[in-house]
Amino acid sequence: MSKSIKHHLTDDLLMAYAAGNLPEAFDLMVATHLSLCDHCRARAESFEAVGGQVLEDQAQTAQMGSDALAATMALISQGAPTPKPAHKKCAVLPAPLQDYVGGDVNDIRWRPVGMGVKQAILPTTNEATARLLFIPAGAAVPDHSHRGIEMTMVLQGAFSDEVDHFARGDVEIADQDLEHMPVADISEDCICLAVTDAPLKFTKLMPRLFQPFLRI
Ligand SMILES: [Zn+2]
**Each residue's pLDDT tens digit, 117-145:** 999 999 998 888 899 999 999 998 876 66
The per-residue pLDDT for 2 is 46
The Cα 173–Cα 151 span in angstroms is: 5
Query: pLDDT for 24-78, tens place per residue?
Result: 999 999 999 999 999 999 999 988 887 767 667 766 666 556 666 666 666 666 6
% of the chain surpassing 70 pLDDT: 70
Question: How many distinct structural domains can be found in the chain?
Answer: 1
Cα 132 to middle of ligand 1, angstroms: 19
174 versus 168: the higher-pLDDT residue is 168
The secondary structure element, H or E, covering residue 114 is strand 111-114
| CATH number of the domain encompassing residue 216 | 2.60.120.10
Cα 7 to middle of ligand 1, angstroms: 7
Cα 42 to middle of ligand 1, angstroms: 9
pTM beyond 0.85: the answer is no
Please determine, for residue 94, whether its predicted confidence score (pLDDT) is greater than 60: yes
Residues forming a β-bridge with 195? 130, 151
Contact indicator for 19, 54 with CB cutoff of 8 Å: no
Cα 131 to middle of ligand 1, angstroms: 20
Domain hosting 54: range is 1-216
The Cα 180–Cα 125 span in angstroms is: 26
Cα 31 to middle of ligand 1, angstroms: 11
Ion ligand 1: residues, Cβ under 5 Å: 8, 37, 39-40
